[in-house]
Structure 1
């Protein structure tokens, strides 16, 4: 089969590899119909990370069931499905406590197991979820990042009527805008430095968009909130700069949830650090998208709200490309060439 395989730093190759075959009775082979580029994929591509040389990359996907093992009963060949790419060990202390997103040996396909930048992928049955009738493959490929965002929101104490600020309008931030609405936010502020991303944020439900290039984000937010700030601030840019700036957005006693990963050291100016202490902020981290019973309520909630149309990923998808374009696209992304928001590969699509 055709696949994208990562060998070393900035060395991803479009090539032939062996297609997966059933080896255990609880396995499912899936024909990949859509698979997205995650920010973690970009980081691994340019900075190295936990993967084996030559590993088939990618983990955000949806597809059609091709073949099932003898013990699989909840799906059949031809069914449309999404896949949870995360594996937990079930043996470490966090796993034994039911805190499976904190597993000490947590991994995803595309690192130690073959991933979904390919024509076919294999997963255990309990990782595979049926797509509802109104969820297409492109949307299904976004169930995993949507579940990542939902996992974070479940960790907060947000209540209906809250005001929420989203800092960073990449795919995670744009999903966070929509999850804030689902959790009952009365007003959602979207913050970025890219007007094209802010335009999409408005399209998916942001009430107010703030370009932080014009003046500090917290100053603009103060104008909208009469100087009080928001109940919840979401850091979704994964930038060292926004990781400190987000601390100035919540009200006294408010919350910050970190969903982005900066992959760099963070220096926090006194002005921002003192917000934690003087405003008695509650600071939360969020990691991955799984919870018990596996894969977790995040996944079923994502599918439910996608089916209702309350999570709309279509405006976020800027490119649908063939796998063959992979090496070129990854280089463009790390050099910030092109107007990319969310890139989806379609393994059935031929190179333009």
Structure 2
């Protein structure tokens, strides 16, 4: 079958890969219909390289069941499905206490086992969810990043009428903006240096956009909130700089949740660090997109909100490309040859 395989930093190739087959009774082989490029895929390509040389990359996707093991009863060949890419052990202390996102053996397809940038991929049956007919394939390809965003918000005490600031309007930030509105936030502030991202943020539900080039995000947010700050600040940029600045945005007694991953040290100036102590902030780290019972309410809630049309991800999608153009798409995204939101790849 055709697939995108990562051999090293900057070395992504379109070519042949081994076709997945049913080997255990609880497995499902899925024909991939649409797959999304994640920021973590770009980091693997640009900075980190593969866990395993020549691994099929990708973990955000949707498709149709091709084959199932003998023990699989909830889906059948021909069914449209969503698929959670996280593989958890189910037996470690974290899994047993109902926190699979903290599984010590947690991995994701596309890292140590073949991913979804291919015509077919394979997952345990527990990871596969029937897809309601009202959800299009391209929409369903964004279920996993949506689950990442809502997983982070579930950690917080965000309530209807609250206020939220989202630092970074990449895909996770944009989904967080829309989820914050679905949680009932009265005012959502979107913060980014890219005006086009801020434009999409407005389409995703942001009430006020902040461009910090000429005046700091902190100064603008304080002016907008009469010096109080917001109930919840979300770091979704994955930047070492914003990972420090985010502490200045919540009100006293407010919350911070980290969804971005800075691939570098985070130096924190005293001004920002003291906000944690003096304002008695609650700080959360959010990892992955699963909870118990696996794969969790992040997935079932996303499916419900997409099926009713309340969660609309279409403004995020900027490119729809054949899988064969994957290597060029990665290079263009790294070199910012165009404005890229969510890029979807379609196996041929």
Instruction: Give TM-score, length-normalised by structure 1.
Output: 0.97
Contact kept in structure 1, 2:9 and 2:50, CA below 8 Å = no
**TM-superposed deviation, 1:195:** 0.7
**TM-superposed deviation, 1:249:** 0.8
Query: Which deviates more, 140-149 or 96-105?
Result: 96-105
Give SS of 1:147's match.
Answer: helix
Task: Work out the CA distance in 1 between the residues paired with 2:244 and 2:322.
Answer: 38
> Match for residue 115 of structure 2?
115
Unaligned runs of 5+ in 2: none
> Match for residue 61 of structure 2?
61
**TM-superposed deviation, 1:253:** 0.6
**TM-superposed deviation, 1:49:** 5.2
> Match for residue 82 of structure 1?
82
**TM-superposed deviation, 1:47:** 1.8
Task: Work out the CA distance in 1 between the residues paired with 2:97 and 2:22.
Answer: 32
Task: Work out the CA distance in 1 between the residues paired with 2:125 and 2:163.
Answer: 39
Task: Work out the CA distance in 1 between the residues paired with 2:210 and 2:330.
Answer: 28
> Match for residue 277 of structure 2?
277
Task: Work out the CA distance in 2 between the residues paired with 1:236 and 1:73.
Answer: 38
Task: Work out the CA distance in 1 between the residues paired with 2:269 and 2:50.
Answer: 32
**TM-superposed deviation, 1:24:** 1.6
> Match for residue 184 of structure 1?
184
Task: Work out the CA distance in 1 between the residues paired with 2:151 and 2:322.
Answer: 31
Task: Work out the CA distance in 1 between the residues paired with 2:133 and 2:178.
Answer: 21
**TM-superposed deviation, 1:61:** 0.3
Task: Work out the CA distance in 1 between the residues paired with 2:124 and 2:256.
Answer: 35
CA-based RMSD: 1.1
**TM-superposed deviation, 1:220:** 0.7
1:219 aligns with 2:219: yes
> Match for residue 145 of structure 1?
145
Query: What is the aligned residue count?
Result: 348
Task: Work out the CA distance in 1 between the residues paired with 2:233 and 2:304.
Answer: 25
1:131 aligns with 2:131: yes
Task: Work out the CA distance in 1 between the residues paired with 2:68 and 2:105.
Answer: 27
Query: Which deviates more, 54-63 or 76-85?
Result: 76-85
**TM-superposed deviation, 1:50:** 5.9
**TM-superposed deviation, 1:184:** 1.0
> Match for residue 22 of structure 1?
22
> Match for residue 203 of structure 1?
203
Contact kept in structure 2, 1:25 and 1:71, CA below 8 Å = yes
Give SS of 2:241's match.
Answer: helix
Q: C-alpha deviations, 1:131-183, integer Å up to 9, x for none?
A: 11221111111111111111111100111110011111011000000110111
Contact kept in structure 1, 2:134 and 2:307, CA below 8 Å = yes
Contact kept in structure 2, 1:156 and 1:255, CA below 8 Å = yes
Task: Work out the CA distance in 2 between the residues paired with 1:124 and 1:89.
Answer: 11
**TM-superposed deviation, 1:248:** 1.1
Task: Work out the CA distance in 1 between the residues paired with 2:137 and 2:111.
Answer: 23
Contact kept in structure 2, 1:51 and 1:110, CA below 8 Å = no
Unaligned runs of 5+ in 1: none
Give SS of 1:240's match.
Answer: coil
**TM-superposed deviation, 1:311:** 1.2
Task: Work out the CA distance in 2 between the residues paired with 1:208 and 1:65.
Answer: 42
> Match for residue 93 of structure 1?
93
Instruction: Give TM-score, length-normalised by structure 2.
Output: 0.98
> Match for residue 257 of structure 1?
257
Contact kept in structure 1, 2:8 and 2:49, CA below 8 Å = no
